[in-house]
Structure 1
Amino acid sequence: MRTLAIFAGFALIGAMIFTIASFSAAPEPEPVAAVKPSTETLQERLKRLPGDYRGWAELGSHYVDQARITGDPSYYTKAEGALDTAAELKPGDDAVLAGQAALAAGRHEFSDAVRLAERALDANPYSAAAYGVLADAKTQLGDLRGAERAVAKMLDLRPGVAAFARASYAAELRGDVDAARTYLRYAHQDAWLPADLAYARHYLGELALHEGDLVTANDWYTKALQAYPAYTPALAGQAKAAALGGRLSEALDIYERVVERLPLPQYLIEQGETQLKSGQQPDWTLLKAQWGLLESAGVRDHLTRAEFEADHGDPVLAVKHARAEYDLNPNPVSADVLAWSLYKAGKPEEALPYAKEATSTGWRNPLLRYHRATIEQALGRPARVDPGFDPSLSALARFS
């Protein structure tokens, strides 16, 4: 789901550089010459001030961001170490708890993320960061009303890119695409960091893509990369637009660059489906290796595993992973994946209630609508499958 991308969409430059700045203030009222800022890395600061619990919390949060930016799950282990140090130095600090909540969310432990975010808010009711993690985790747990309340608090406390992006996603999930687009435009207007500009432009592209406007989508992806060339989701967006537009060779060339930068399971599946569409046989070795790395770092990825097995592997195994995901996080996407896995396993009657649940919020996601219509048709019920939807590229219809 798109919410997971929100964690990594902000302050990427700061997360990559890990640099803090200190400025010497001029005494009043004597005029003095301007003093240039001195910089040191966060790690250097913590060597100098090992008791700086907020610094350790910040470092932990940076590592969480790095895990999502690079696709390297070993950063989660580093984040855990930094945040544990922060918690030992200052138990119950709101920034430390918010960082621990973000780490739990990164590992898909959303119930723990809610618990930790709520503890952070008990310590500091004005923590916009904690409300952001709370909104993300509640979305993943299927508590969309609770997520919207958290987003509203975040908008009150700190209206900006992070809050507008979450408000956009909340609107999108209830089917209000116009409001979703408006909030993303607010985020775009508020953004000044290149990575934040890229983030907003990328998701404006995603909205256009899923409305079938490939030209506008590709334009936004291109503008995102102009703002921040290292923003891989926008590069993947260009690959999706090319593939869905029938330009398969171009799409595969772009996907090669995408997975070299960021070999996330979602991108590897998209690449594999594009290869199949072009008559090539994909090699899923790297995909399976990535799942192994995620598991070793404590990250559960039942969702994409179930999606993959349903469409390209063992439907029985797909049902197993889909049930595990739904039991933990009963949101629209997990309901859809469980419905589709059951259908592919030959159980359309059992699948239909989950397909209805997946589409009950009003979310106008083409993949969810295709799955429900297909299941209803299998049961002899009247349903219209969008003739413009390409089921052979179903992974490309997921929001990144």
Structure 2
Amino acid sequence: MENQQEGPVRASGVRRRRVLIASVAGCAVLGGVLVLLPREPAEPAPPSPGASAGAAVGSGVPATLPGLAELIGEREKAVRDRPGDAASWAVLGVAYAERGRRLADPAYYPRAERALRASLKARPQRNTRAVAGLAALANARRDFRAGRRWGEAALRLEPRRWTTYPLLIDAYTGLGEYRAAERTLDRLMELRSGPAVLARAAAVYRDRGRLEDAAASLADAAAGARAPVERAAYLEQAGRLAFERGDPAVALRHLREAVRLDPDQRAARAGQGRALAALGRTAQALKAYRQALAGQPCPRYTLELGELYESLGMRGEARAQYGLVRERVRGAAAGGADERLVLGRLEADHGDPAAAVRRLRAEWQRRPTPEAADALGWALYRAGKPAQALRFALRATDPERGGGLGDAVYWYHRGMIEQELNRHGAARRHLTEALRINPHFSPLHAPTARAALEALGEPPDEGVPEMDAGAG
């Protein structure tokens, strides 16, 4: 009997254990199912301005000014805590250089150089980031020979690092080495595509006179930009190009959108000043220039504002701006930046043309570019030496050497020099070309071009030579 009773009890216990195991297994499976069920995706936290700026600095696209300020603060703390952190020193140096460029504040440049050299000291070998940073700094200072040297060194370290190529393109362009710039662009476009590359291509196309290609590339770059600050930078370039092509209304539309996207885009505010002055809206133009200079006291914008004042008969205000140009050029020199071309232009038109010639001859020796040739030729003309001036004006407008391609100012200068030399046919053609390219190229000098062209009158009608009565 006991055995008979034990059998059912044992069987019952087995069944209970099986039910329990099944229940536990079911819970385990259910738990696994619950774990595997997709959860509602959490909204990712947006990156901090400093993190965004760090990503931008590392990928060759523009960063916001607040982001650069935060990035600088973060990296300053990092190098205080870890003085041997080569990467942080390099990022800090590049951020200093970019902030100095955006603010036209040369005080940042010595800090950038110290940081980049500290990075090289901490990691002397294969420190491409610091070497490329020194190239960027040299270009910001307009020391394009150093920019080329450092850029080529960075390229030897990492030939496939695409962000080095734009630095070299800037350096080659600044030295007038346009063929090298084109070759470097070709290599860049083999390695990389996207908005930043399109914008760089547009600058090369513009320098080579391919203005339609430049405009199309900038439109594509702006459409493909991911961040507002990046799109604003490309729209500023598009606005500048539209103004140079003689369309201030289109320029103004691009520039206003750039400022809406990035209120710190001071180059776009200065561009608005140019476009508004061309459209005859001078009160708004003055306001735009003042806003630009409040955040970016660039010597070139200061000279433009002075000439706008002078064109309006406001000579006292103009003289004040010309004084500020000299002051800001001195400040740039203290930070290692070169603004001698701006100073030469100022002295040629509003100061001492003989001093301008001396300065610009030295600049021409350093950088034999169309820009330097034009400035030196104009200074010689203003100093009463038109025959010497013409040689440089011809160089500045020689398309085989990158000159005169879509730049109204160069043709205006050449036409005025030719008029002084009584080369009336050439003067008439080249003043007409200047006003065809951009009728509004300068509020001060475009009216002078029109007046000179009117004084030259229509070309003489040679007519058909009369037959000699005694002939045949």
Q: TM-score range by the shorter chain?
A: 0.7 to 0.9
Give 1:14 shift: 7.3
Task: Please name the residue that 1:79 is paired with.
Answer: 112
8 Å CA contact 1:349–1:379 kept in 2: the answer is yes
Structure number with the bigger relative contact order (C-alpha 8 A, sep ≥ 6) is: 1
Secondary structure at the aligned position of 1:128 is classed as: coil
Could you tell me how far apart the structure 2 residues matched to 1:183 and 1:390 are?
A: 23
The AA in structure 2 aligned to 1:376 is E
Could you tell me how far apart the structure 1 residues matched to 2:444 and 2:61 are?
A: 26
Q: Mapping of 1:283-294 within 5 angstroms?
A: 283=320, 284-294=322-332
8 Å CA contact 1:94–1:127 kept in 2: the answer is no
Structure 1 residue 309 corresponds to structure 2 residue 347: yes
Among 148, 173, 182, the residue aligned to 1:148: 182
Which is helix-richer, 1 or 2?
2
The TM-score normalised by the length of structure 2 is 0.74
The TM-score normalised by the length of structure 1 is 0.87
- In structure 1, stretches of 5+ residues that fail to align are 1-6, 21-39, 396-400
Could you tell me how far apart the structure 1 residues matched to 2:248 and 2:443 are?
A: 17
Task: Please name the residue that 2:233 is paired with.
Answer: 199
Task: Please name the residue that 1:253 is paired with.
Answer: 287
Task: Please name the residue that 1:398 is paired with.
Answer: none
The AA in structure 1 aligned to 2:342 is T
8 Å CA contact 1:326–1:338 kept in 2: the answer is yes
Task: Please name the residue that 2:35 is paired with.
Answer: none
Structure 1 residue 274 corresponds to structure 2 residue 308: yes
Give 1:186 shift: 2.3
Could you tell me how far apart the structure 2 residues matched to 1:264 and 1:225 are?
A: 17
Could you tell me how far apart the structure 2 residues matched to 1:298 and 1:74 are?
A: 9
Q: How many residues align?
A: 370
Secondary structure at the aligned position of 1:91 is classed as: coil
Following superposition, which runs of at least 4 residues in structure 1 exceed 6 angstroms of deviation?
Answer: none
8 Å CA contact 2:348–2:382 kept in 1: the answer is yes
Structure 1 residue 115 corresponds to structure 2 residue 149: yes
8 Å CA contact 2:239–2:253 kept in 1: the answer is yes
Structure 1 residue 10 corresponds to structure 2 residue 62: yes
Task: Please name the residue that 1:27 is paired with.
Answer: none
Task: Please name the residue that 1:332 is paired with.
Answer: 370
Among 388, 397, 413, the residue aligned to 1:359: 397
Could you tell me how far apart the structure 2 residues matched to 1:106 and 1:127 are?
A: 20
Could you tell me how far apart the structure 2 residues matched to 1:71 and 1:9 are?
A: 18
Could you tell me how far apart the structure 2 residues matched to 1:153 and 1:190 are?
A: 21
Could you tell me how far apart the structure 2 residues matched to 1:111 and 1:260 are?
A: 31
When the two chains are superposed, the root-mean-square deviation of aligned CA atoms in Å is 2.1
Give 1:172 shift: 1.0
Secondary structure at the aligned position of 2:213 is classed as: helix
8 Å CA contact 2:65–2:264 kept in 1: the answer is no
Structure 1 residue 370 corresponds to structure 2 residue 412: yes
Could you tell me how far apart the structure 2 residues matched to 1:13 and 1:389 are?
A: 32
Could you tell me how far apart the structure 1 residues matched to 2:313 and 2:82 are?
A: 58
- Seq. identity, %: 35
8 Å CA contact 1:303–1:337 kept in 2: the answer is yes
- In structure 2, stretches of 5+ residues that fail to align are 1-58, 447-472
Secondary structure at the aligned position of 1:19 is classed as: helix
- Cα pair distance change 1:392/1:254, threshold 3 Å: closer
Could you tell me how far apart the structure 1 residues matched to 2:224 and 2:441 are?
A: 36
Could you tell me how far apart the structure 2 residues matched to 1:201 and 1:229 are?
A: 13
Could you tell me how far apart the structure 1 residues matched to 2:67 and 2:167 are?
A: 17
Task: Please name the residue that 1:213 is paired with.
Answer: 247
The AA in structure 2 aligned to 1:323 is R
Which stretch has the larger CA shift, 140-149 or 361-370?
361-370
Give 1:203 shift: 1.4
Could you tell me how far apart the structure 1 residues matched to 2:263 and 2:156 are?
A: 39
Structure label with greater radius of gyration: 2
The AA in structure 1 aligned to 2:413 is H
Deviations 1:141-180 (A, max 9, x none): 1100001111222222232333222211111111111111
Could you tell me how far apart the structure 2 residues matched to 1:342 and 1:380 are?
A: 17
Among 46, 61, 74, the residue aligned to 1:41: 74
Which stretch has the larger CA shift, 219-228 or 7-16?
7-16
Secondary structure at the aligned position of 1:246 is classed as: coil
Give 1:305 shift: 0.5
8 Å CA contact 1:101–1:112 kept in 2: the answer is yes
